[in-house]
Structure 1
Amino acid sequence: MKTIFAFLCISLLGFSANAQEFKFEEEIINYGNIHKGANGERTFVFTNIGNQPLIITKVQSSCGCTIPKKPEQPILPGEKGEIKVSYDTKRTGGFSKSISIYSNAKNPRKVVKIKGFVTNGISLEKEKSLLSDS
């Protein structure tokens, strides 16, 4: 009888720990064409649509040129959270990177993506700076 009770308790705990979900506003962020050295930071916004606090345990990118930052606090049901991603825009050419998000959600691994193309041109900010210095 104790074994059955222990099994039921463990099963219920496992179910309640996985009773949360999260929904992203965008699962792919397209940088479009950006200039070399431009701001490479973007933010994935999501909502905890489950009934338990959502805990992001780890966020990992597919390469070292992309640095993700996870939320430090649990995201309560109905609340929004953010995962900031910085791409190294000193590398020219096209890019497509995956960011794996590990959590206590029903599906413990979620993958979102960034993509774009870094051109070698001068940004408008640099042009304005050069013109104002003259």
Structure 2
Amino acid sequence: MPTRTAAAEREASKEAYNAYLATCPSRQVLATLADKWVVLVMHALEDEPQRYSQLSRHIAGVSQKMLTQTLRGLERDGLVVRTVEPTVPVTVTYELTGLGRSLVQVVSPLKRWAETHIEVIRHSQAEYDLRA
């Protein structure tokens, strides 16, 4: 079997992780990031670790099921760490990992962009709906 050069390895790696390809595993990451609860949970954890109840109060409208699923998914992906403290009752906190901190730098501006441009978007939607 011929040996590849370092440049050929890098090129093969780029091709292997091309999100435009249906088989690319990075599509799952993009699907995760497109979830509104992921964006909101990540942003809520940006400044400090929080308990489940704090997150639940902070993120209006999230169901217990969705918050639990979102936190488990983020933990599985290595973006959030769950710490259980042996108190009575047990205290569980959630905190961003280093990888999560690097991602929050991307998702926090997305949240702010949505808040900043919502009126323009709503206006465009209303105009579109009138034409449809």
If the length of structure 1 is used for normalisation, what is the TM-score? 0.25
Higher strand share: 1
Higher helix share: 2
